[in-house]
């Protein structure tokens, strides 16, 4: 999408553009057979994503570091629709320990998993390291979602195999992926503090999100477990 289209909201080949709402995109969809995890669903884009998925009858799991904010979102959704299915689980994407605990807690619910929306992220942070020793934007925006996705892949494959519903993994990125370090991703200097730029580090993490999505697509293309077409599509 060009900058002009992004600013004006002009629709692209899909018929949708930056001015299109989530309700417009999902109009007419019945997602009652779908279970979706939305990371960072307690605010912003994640909130709207969780709200509209619930509106379309999906069972939504809001994965959030701020559980109080996520529960407020849950109550707002339930106030609008008492039949909505929304649950909240704690997830701090900056912590490998928290990610593994989240996956364990989700698996314990014995729910299917059709959709994983890797939405959560942080932006333009001063230099700091995560508890696992990685630059915090790269850790939260990319590494956390990478680990989360890998740990949930088997569940998604099993769900697609049993249900016949095609699975979806969505990595949210940004046009900021064009504005990173000259090397693109500093694989050998992720934690370099001397030349750290909060904006370029953010762009680096968003570029990693796109590369992750592309590689997932390549590996899963033709995989009948995850990418199985539903009879209704």
Tell me the CB-side half-sphere exposure of residue 66, using CA atoms within 13 A: 14
| Percent of the chain with pLDDT strictly greater than 90 | 76
Question: 183 pLDDT band (50/70/90 cuts)?
Answer: confident
Q: Which residues are part of the catalytic machinery? A: 196
Whole-model pTM: value is: 0.89
Instruction: For residues 56 and 47, give the distance between their C-alpha atoms in angstroms, rounded to a whole number.
Output: 14
Is pLDDT above 90 for 229? no
- Calculate the average pLDDT of the chain: 90
pLDDT interval class at 231 (50, 70, 90): very low
Burial level of 5, CB count in 10 A (0-12/13-18/19+)?
middle
- 206, 173 in Cβ contact below 8 A? yes
Neighbouring residues of 69: CB distance < 8 A, sequence distance ≥ 6:
42, 43
List strands edge to edge, sheet with 168-171. 85-90, 59-64, 35-39, 115-118, 168-171
DSSP 140: I
pLDDT digits (tens, 9 = 90+) for 121-178: 999 999 999 999 999 999 999 999 999 999 999 999 999 999 998 899 999 988 878 8
- pLDDT tens profile 62-92: 999 999 999 999 999 999 999 999 999 999 9
Q: Which residue has the tokens 């762009």?
A: 203
184 strand-pairing partners? 181
Which domains does the chain show, CATH number per domain?
22-220 (3.40.50.720)
């Amino acid at each position: 999408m060009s900058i002009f289209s992004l600013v004006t909201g002009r629709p692209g080949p899909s018929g949708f553009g930056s001015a299109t709402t989530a309700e417009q995109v999902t109009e007419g969809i019945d997602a009652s057979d779908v279970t979706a995890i939305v990371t960072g669903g307690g605010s912003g884009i994640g909130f709207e994503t969780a709200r509209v998925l619930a509106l379309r009858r999906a069972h939504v799991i809001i994965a959030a570091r701020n559980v109080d904010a996520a529960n407020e979102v849950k109550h707002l959704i339930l106030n609008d629709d008492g039949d909505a299915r929304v649950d909240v689980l704690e997830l701090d994407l900056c912590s490998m320990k928290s990610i593994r605990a989240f996956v364990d807690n989700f698996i314990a619910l014995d729910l299917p998993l059709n959709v994983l929306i890797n939405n959560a992220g942080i932006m333009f942070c001063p230099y700091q390291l995560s508890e696992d020793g990685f630059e915090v934007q790269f850790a939260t925006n990319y590494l956390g979602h990478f680990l989360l996705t890998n740990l949930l892949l088997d569940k998604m494959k099993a769900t697609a195999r049993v249900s016949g519903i095609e699975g979806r993994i969505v990595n949210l990125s940004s046009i900021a992926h064009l504005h990173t370090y000259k090397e693109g991703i500093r694989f050998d200097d992720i934690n370099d503090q001397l030349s750290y730029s909060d904006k370029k580090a953010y762009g680096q993490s968003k570029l990693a999100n796109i590369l992750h999505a592309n590689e997932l697509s390549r590996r899963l293309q033709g995989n009948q477990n995850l990418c199985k077409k539903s009879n209704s599509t």
